Amino acid sequence: MATSRSDPALAPSLRKDDAGARPFRRVLVANRGEIAVRLIRACHELGMEAVAVYSDADAAAAHVRLADRAVRLGPAAPTESYLRIDAIVQAALDTGAQAIHPGYGFLAERAAFARAVEDAGLVFVGPPSAAIDALGDKLHARRTAAAVGVAAVPGTLEPAPLDRPDQVAGIVAEAERIGFPLLVKAAAGGGGRGMRRVAAAADLPAALVSGSREAASAFGDGSVYLEREISPARHIEVQLLGDVEGRVVAIGERDCSLQRRHQKLVEEAPAPGLTVEERVHLHEMAVRVASAAGLRNAATAEFLRAPDGTFYFLEVNTRLQVEHGVTELVTGLDIVREQLLLAAGRPLSPDALDAAARAATPFGHAIEVRISAEDPGRDFAPTPGRVTRWWMPSGPGVRVDTALEAGDRVPAEYDNLIAKVMVHAGDRGAAIDRLRRALDEVEVAGIQTTLPFHRFVARDTSFRAADLSTGWVGERWDGPADHRRAVEAAQLAAGLAAMDAAVAAGGVTAAPRPATATSATTSHGAGSADGRWHRSGLEAAQDRWPR
């Protein structure tokens, strides 16, 4: 049932000279959390009404309160709410929405969803279903890249014939040609689902079977293929926009190398260390692939950069990216606004064309960290619960995208991302300094978050030196034994500090402090100069569990 914040019939109409700027009268936002809030704000800035959808877990959420209308989809489980194509399309029809924006995640890259929207006579704010079909299949995207002369990561271009036991020897021979170690990857999805690392030929058959089984469960398609492991590698993606006239432009690139389990944790724009010539080459390759696939609206072409500087095409994401904000900060372009205008059939705007013309020589530097309800000291385990204190940073060059407030509960049913903290400055060094300052201002209580990890990144010398790779987190955070000891020492120091505070308040009798506590907090090179481990440990342990 739909609820309305205001009666559309009574809403003031736009002035005649504003009508050209309003691509639609009403847009349904098929998502939740910070991205739903971001999309609703963009709709309101364009003079459009926004319709929210929500599950029972989100009945009082910020995106519901901000929208002009809200429609309940069902219980908290995504399969009964945010993944219900029929319910979302019907909600758009019932509320008179003309278009649906999927945001990212959930149904954003499901060609079946885009097709259902199109079949209902509505506009899908994103690439058309045919383009999602073509580019969502990684093997098809790899073949498209090869057809236009863009080198993909070495590997196969057809699914592994798992139903042909007589061809096992041929698969193994192909793997040996590609070279070990290699990856078994799902053709129909991402996020590491269905992916298996294979170090030797003897392990390949089992990896193919288990990877295919997981891919079928996650994406409904068990097709897998082989791809060489590029290591160490940097993950660099290019932001693309395309219009109905067939023009496709690149408006910049982002470095997303800091990942864990193939999930991005930190992104920055532009990618550090690239020359103007390398940027031009990278952007041109991305445009060629997207143009060949008939891209319209927004998408991102992803590449791996090998140690020798070679770029290899990886895949295309046919949706708005989580990290789109850092590109907005360095270009001054509102990507969501462009999406809505492009979806309405408008050509690329002068602002978009200007951003594309300046893409190889961007101004300043922007960095984003994804604050999630996870414990980085316990293998990034999810930590849902109620937030009792929530204070986000502000000041020059700081942007925070979030939908959370003190008193809100982070549901266990959805993605753990709760805020994106972004900074922008004149150069990368100044941006890192600003990021460090901004993160030190953050206060969260009631749940554990990834803040200790992000504060560590902002102070790490290799990060400042742009010594980046997709293995950085495993090497710098997960890996070193002295680091693990420092984590444990920091947690101990946090407990002692909490005890000291209780004693100072007069409610607890102090116990003797362990003699090792003070010296332990200075391990891993932190020392007492900046006390990052003591501070991060304190923030990691205080109010750790929800009340």
- Residues labelled catalytic: 319
Residue 390: its H or E element: strand 389-391
Q: How far from each other are the two terminal CA atoms of the chain, in whole angstroms?
A: 33
> Using CA atoms, how far apart are residues 38 and 67, in angstroms rounded to an integer?
11
Q: Scanning the structure block, which residue is given the tokens 């594309």? A: 356
> Using CA atoms, how far apart are residues 144 and 290, in angstroms rounded to an integer?
9
Residues 6 or more apart whose CB falls under 8 angstroms from that of 12 comprise none
Q: Name the token pair of 171.
A: 């698969």
Buried b (16+ CB within 10 A) or exposed e, 340-363: bbbbbebebbebbeebbeebbebe
Cβ-count burial of 175 within 10 angstroms (0-12 exposed, 13-18 middle, 19+ buried)?
buried
Q: Scanning the structure block, which residue is given the tokens 């891919």? A: 215
Residue pair 266/260 in contact (Cβ under 8 Å)? The answer is no
Residue pair 235/256 in contact (Cβ under 8 Å)? The answer is yes
> Using CA atoms, how far apart are residues 496 and 510, in angstroms rounded to an integer?
10
Q: Name the token pair of 146.
A: 């090869």
Number of residues written out for the chain: 547
Residue pair 298/239 in contact (Cβ under 8 Å)? The answer is yes
Residues 6 or more apart whose CB falls under 8 angstroms from that of 524 comprise 480, 482, 483, 485, 486, 533
Coil/strand/helix, residue 179: coil
Residues 6 or more apart whose CB falls under 8 angstroms from that of 148 comprise 288, 289, 291, 292
**Sign of the C-alpha dihedral computed for residues 319, 322, 326 and 328 taken in this order:** positive
Q: Scanning the structure block, which residue is given the tokens 């991302």? A: 417
Taking each helix axis from N to C terminus, what angle separates 335-343 and 33-45, rounded to the nearest 10 degrees?
Answer: 70
Cβ-count burial of 61 within 10 angstroms (0-12 exposed, 13-18 middle, 19+ buried)?
buried
Closest CA to 543 of 314, 387, 348: 387
Nearest-10 Cα torsion for 404, 331, 458, 38:
10
Strand partners, 225: 185
Coil/strand/helix, residue 201: helix
Cβ-count burial of 16 within 10 angstroms (0-12 exposed, 13-18 middle, 19+ buried)?
exposed
